[in-house]
């Protein structure tokens, strides 16, 4: 196997190993960055929902206090306000969702589905958790969710959720007596869950990875080409000339051309040594012939 081929194989092997390691690490970093970006969006939307709840509770509900004594208005309920405001956002961002998933809700639309029930149970089993992050598969691809517990910290909430008899008649007329009761103070009854799609950020991360790896491959190919040209011109071609001249001299062709010396590098030193050896050999052959 020729020297240049051996050198290329060594370089390609070393670069391949480095490329594989770099690709793995780069992919991990890009994936984590994508997830951090999605989590940031989820956190922002969760805070928007919390702001809607707070605004409704502190500014809207007091204005309706007199009317609420006669009529139950869902719009005065903080969770309803947060869900409705997010529904407007969802008209533009189809794959984004917000839900106040509850085990025993007053409004049936808030009832947990299977995976949401697992989230709520986990928060109930670990009351020290203030926030939970996870991933799940959806028909549109992977989605990241951010969940926070819904805990009954305000005793006033129990006025509507303790027993049907204690709840406003207008609320029972709207939602019935079967759901949303039996809640207890400090109990975790559900979870606020924001779901944000991972597909687009992950696709962007994959595209960035392809660009990075493609750029590295192109750079390596260019470097390999330049290295091959330099080695051939500065090392292999002069050594080939020395070998041809040596073959000619060893065959008795004393009139073979001398090796031309250019520069003062290692090849030039080798060429000078070869020329001196050739002159010494020619003198020795002349003496033998005499």
Q: Among 107-121, 178-192, 239-253, name the one with the lowest average pLDDT.
A: 239-253
Please answer whether residues 61 and 68 qualify as being in contact, where contact means their C-beta atoms are separated by less than 8 angstroms: yes
- At the top level of CATH, which class does the domain 3-10+206-289 belong to? mainly alpha
| pLDDT exceeds 60 at position 119 | yes
Tens of pLDDT, residues 269-287: 777 787 788 777 777 777 7
What's the whole-number mean pLDDT along residues 160-169? 80
Interatomic CA distance for residues 80 and 272, integer angstroms = 93
Beta-bridge partner residues of 142:
137
| pLDDT exceeds 80 at position 95 | yes
255 confidence band (pLDDT: 50, 70, 90): low
CB atoms within 10 A of CB 221: 11
Interatomic CA distance for residues 198 and 216, integer angstroms = 27
Q: In which residue are the tokens 């962007």 written? A: 204
Q: Among 37-51, 94-108, 198-212, 243-257, name the one with the lowest average pLDDT.
A: 243-257
174-183, long-range: CB < 8 A, 24+ apart: 174/72, 174/74, 175/106, 175/107, 179/104, 179/105, 179/106, 179/108, 180/102, 180/104, 180/105, 180/106, 180/107, 181/104, 182/104, 183/104, 183/152, 183/157, 183/158
Q: Among 8-17, 120-129, 281-290, name the one with the lowest average pLDDT.
A: 281-290
Query: Which candidate, 37, 55, 189, places its Cα nearest to that of 111?
Result: 189
Amino acid 13: pLDDT: 92
290 confidence band (pLDDT: 50, 70, 90): low
Global pTM value = 0.70
Amino acid 191: pLDDT: 94
Q: Name the residue ranges covered by the structural domains of the chain.
A: 3-10+206-289, 17-198
Assigned token pair, 115: 């995976």
DSSP string, 175-191: H-SSSS----TT-EEEE
Domain 17-198 grouped into CATH 2.60.40: no
Tens of pLDDT, residues 174-183: 888 888 888 8
What's the whole-number mean pLDDT along residues 22-42? 91
Q: In which residue are the tokens 């750029």 written? A: 215
| pLDDT exceeds 70 at position 254 | no
- Provide, rounded to the nearest whole percent, the portion of the chain with pLDDT above 90: 31
Assigned token pair, 290: 């005499």
3-state secondary structure of 51: helix
Assigned token pair, 91: 């008209």
Beta-bridge partner residues of 190:
102, 150
Query: Which candidate, 50, 38, 48, 41, places its Cα nearest to that of 136?
Result: 38
């Amino acid at each position: 196997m020729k020297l240049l081929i051996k050198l290329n194989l060594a370089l390609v092997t070393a670069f391949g190993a480095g490329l594989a390691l770099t690709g793995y690490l780069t992919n991990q970093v890009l994936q984590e960055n994508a997830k951090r970006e999605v989590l940031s969006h989820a956190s922002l939307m969760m805070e928007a929902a919390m702001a809607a709840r707070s605004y409704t509770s502190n500014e809207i509900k007091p204005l309706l206090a007199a009317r609420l004594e006669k009529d139950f208005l869902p719009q005065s309920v903080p969770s309803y306000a947060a869900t409705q405001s997010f529904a407007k956002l969802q008209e533009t961002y189809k794959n984004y969702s917000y839900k106040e998933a509850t085990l025993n809700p007053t409004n049936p639309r808030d009832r947990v589905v299977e995976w949401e029930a697992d989230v709520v149970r986990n928060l109930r089993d670990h009351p020290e958790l203030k926030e939970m992050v996870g991933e799940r598969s959806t028909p549109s691809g992977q989605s990241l969710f951010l969940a926070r517990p819904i805990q009954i910290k305000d005793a006033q909430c129990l006025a509507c959720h303790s027993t049907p008899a204690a709840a406003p008649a207008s609320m029972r007329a709207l939602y019935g007596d079967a759901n949303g009761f039996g809640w207890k103070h400090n109990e975790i009854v559900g979870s606020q869950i924001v779901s944000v799609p991972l597909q687009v950020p992950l696709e962007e991360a994959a595209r960035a990875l392809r660009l990075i790896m493609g750029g590295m491959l192109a750079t390596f190919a260019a470097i390999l080409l330049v290295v091959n040209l330099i080695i051939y011109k500065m090392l292999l071609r002069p050594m080939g000339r020395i070998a041809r001249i040596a073959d000619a001299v060893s065959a008795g062709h004393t009139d073979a051309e001398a090796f031309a010396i250019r520069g003062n590098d290692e090849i030039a030193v080798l060429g000078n040594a070869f020329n001196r050896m050739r002159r010494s050999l020619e003198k020795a052959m002349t003496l033998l012939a005499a």
